[in-house]
Amino acid sequence: MKAHVIEAVNGQIREEFESSYIYLAMSARFTTMNLPGAAAWMRQQAQEELLHAMKFFDFLVRRGAEPRLSAIAQPVVTFERPIEAFEKALAHERHITACIHALYDLAQKERDYALQTLLHWFIDEQVEEEETATGIIDSLRLAGETGQGLFMIDRELGQRQAAPAEGEAE
């Protein structure tokens, strides 16, 4: 692998770890808001982002490159209403989508076919991530953010099942 491609993949590892940290901070905020379902949903999202970071980490190792972990910033997570959190999550997922697309463009330019193959999975995953966040935002708008509507959505968010690990049957 070319040095600048390795550097770009290491940058994506940092992005994925930062994503995990952001979602974990959102989970903590939902906990203080007494929304245990949303807190659990965000905590699972944080775990999923760790798995994404490790996919890139393991990819570098398999290619004989050294993963280099860099510092991640403390997340600034402020929101007063659940819809604000999911709007921020959607904006963040759009940022990650742009990062994945830029990495794919680099892989194409450098004719790194193995990286392109890995990134196909991430491209599909980002479609799902954005779709999920948009669906939650739509549900919050429809049901409302107070009373019974919020209670039902929070309960539904708490029903999220962890995604199967790589290689496990769904």
CA quadruple 170, 107, 93, 72: dihedral sign:
positive
Total structural domains within the chain: 1
Please check whether residue 54 lies inside any domain of the structure.
yes
Helices marked H in the chain = 3-32, 36-62, 82-109, 113-143, 147-157
DSSP 168: -
Please check whether residue 166 lies inside any domain of the structure.
no
- State pLDDT tens for residues 26-75: 999 999 999 999 999 999 999 999 999 999 999 999 999 999 999 998 99
Residue 170: predicted pLDDT? 41
> What's the whole-number average pLDDT of the chain?
93
Task: Return the CATH number at 46.
Answer: 1.20.1260.10
How many other C-beta atoms lie within 10 A of the C-beta of residue 64? 8
Q: What is the pTM assigned to this prediction? A: 0.90
Q: How far is CA 10 from CA 14, 20, 26, 134, 154, in A?
A: 6, 16, 25, 29, 35
Domain span at residue 66 reads 3-71+81-157
Please check whether residue 168 lies inside any domain of the structure.
no
Please check whether residue 162 lies inside any domain of the structure.
no
Please check whether residue 96 lies inside any domain of the structure.
yes
- State pLDDT tens for residues 20-35: 999 999 999 999 999 9
Decide if 96 contacts 15 (C-beta within 8 A). Answer: yes
DSSP 145: S
Please check whether residue 76 lies inside any domain of the structure.
no
Band the pLDDT of 164: cuts 50, 70, 90.
Answer: low
Helix/strand/coil for 81: coil
58 vs 41: CA distance, rounded Å:
26
Q: How far is CA 110 from the centre of its chain?
A: 26
Greater pLDDT, 168 or 59: 59
Please check whether residue 64 lies inside any domain of the structure.
yes
Greater pLDDT, 60 or 145: 60
36 vs 105: CA distance, rounded Å:
40
Please check whether residue 169 lies inside any domain of the structure.
no
